[in-house]
Chains A and B, each alone.
Chain A
Amino acid sequence: MAIGVLQVTKRFGDFVALDDVSLAIPSGSLTVLLGPSGSGKSTLLRVIAGLEMPDAGEVTIFDTDATPLPPQKRGVGFVFQHYAAFKRMSVRENVAFGLKIRKRPKAEIRARVDELLELVQLQGLAERYPSQLSGGQRQRMALARALAVEPQVLLLDEPFGALDARVRKELRAWLRRLHDEVHVTTVLVTHDQEEAMEVADRVAVINTGRIEQYGKPRDLYEHPASEFVMTFVGPVTRLRNAYIRPHDVDVQLAANGKSEEATVERVVHLGFEVRVEVELAEGGHLLAQMTREEAERLELLEGQKVFVRPRRTTTFEAGTDESAENVSPHGASGASSH
Chain B
Amino acid sequence: MSSQAHTGRGVRALLLGLALTYVVVLLIAPLAGIAYYALKPGFGSIVDTLQLRDVQHAFYLTAVIMFVAVVVTGVLGIVVALVLARDRFAGKAVVSALVNLPLAVSPVIVGLMAVLLFGTAGWFEPFFAAQGIQIMFALPAMILVTIFISIPFVIREVAPLLEELGMDEEQTAWTLGASRLQTFFRITLPNIRWGLLYGTALSAARAIGEVGAVLIVSGLLQGRTETATLYVLRAFDQYQEEQGYIVALMLAGFSILLLIGIETFKRRSARAVS
Contacts and interface: CB of A to CB of B under 8 A. Distances in A.
Does B associate with A? yes
Interface of A: 49-51, 70-72, 74, 76-78, 80, 82, 84-88, 97-98, 101-102, 142, 145-146, 148-149, 151
Nearest to A71: B174
A70 B190 CA distance: 24
B187 A86 contact: yes
Given A86-B187, A101-B182, A72 B174 contact: yes
Given A72-B178, A88-B190, A101-B178, A82 B173 contact: no
B175 A76 contact: yes
Interface stretch (B62-70, B102-110, B119-127, B164-172): B164-172
A84 B172 contact: yes
B191 interface: yes
Contact of A80 (B168, B177, B182): B168
Contact of A88 (B168, B176, B191): B191
Contacts of B172: 78, 80, 84, 86, 142, 145
B191 A87 contact: yes
A74 B172 CA distance: 13
Contacts of A151: 175
A76 to B, nearest CB: 6
A101 B169 contact: no
Contact of B173 (A70, A88, A97): A97
Given A145-B172, A146-B176, 20 more contacts: A49-B175, A70-B174, A72-B178, A77-B175, A77-B176, A78-B171, A78-B172, A80-B171, A80-B172, A82-B168, A84-B168, A86-B172, A88-B191, A97-B176, A98-B176, A101-B182, A142-B172, A145-B176, A149-B176, A151-B175
A140 B172 CA distance: 15
A308 B174 CA distance: 58
18 contacts: A50-B174, A51-B174, A72-B175, A72-B177, A72-B178, A78-B175, A80-B171, A86-B173, A87-B191, A97-B173, A97-B176, A101-B182, A102-B177, A145-B172, A145-B176, A146-B176, A148-B176, A151-B175
- A84, A97, A151 — most chain B CB neighbours (10 Å): A84
A168 to B, nearest CB: 20
Contacts of B174: 50-51, 70-72
B179 interface: yes
Given A84-B168, A86-B169, A101-B182, A71 B175 contact: yes
B143 to A, nearest CB: 34
Contacts of B190: 88
Contacts of B186: 97
B188 to A, nearest CB: 11
A311 to B, nearest CB: 48
Nearest to B176: A98
Nearest to B178: A101
Nearest to A88: B190
Nearest 6 interchain pairs by C-beta: A98-B176, A84-B168, A78-B175, A71-B174, A84-B172, A101-B177
B194 to A, nearest CB: 11
A84 B169 contact: yes
Interface residues of B, number: 16
Contacts, number: 60
Interface of B: 168-169, 171-179, 182, 186-187, 190-191
Contacts of A78: 171-172, 175
Contacts of A101: 176-178, 182
A148 to B, nearest CB: 8
Contacts of B178: 72, 97-98, 101
A149 B172 CA distance: 12
A88 B191 CA distance: 8
A72 B178 CA distance: 6
A84 B171 CA distance: 9
Contacts of A49: 175
Nearest to B169: A84
A98 B169 CA distance: 13
A71 B171 contact: yes
A84 B191 CA distance: 12
A51 B172 CA distance: 10
A115 B169 CA distance: 24
Contacts of B177: 72, 98, 101-102, 149
Contacts of A76: 175
A148 B175 CA distance: 12
Contacts of B191: 87-88
A32 to B, nearest CB: 20
Contacts of A85: 169
A84 B177 CA distance: 16
B68 to A, nearest CB: 30
A197 to B, nearest CB: 28
Nearest to A70: B174
B99 to A, nearest CB: 26
A74 B177 CA distance: 9
A84 B172 CA distance: 7
A74 B186 CA distance: 21
A102 B182 CA distance: 12
A207 to B, nearest CB: 26
Contacts of B187: 86
Nearest to A145: B176
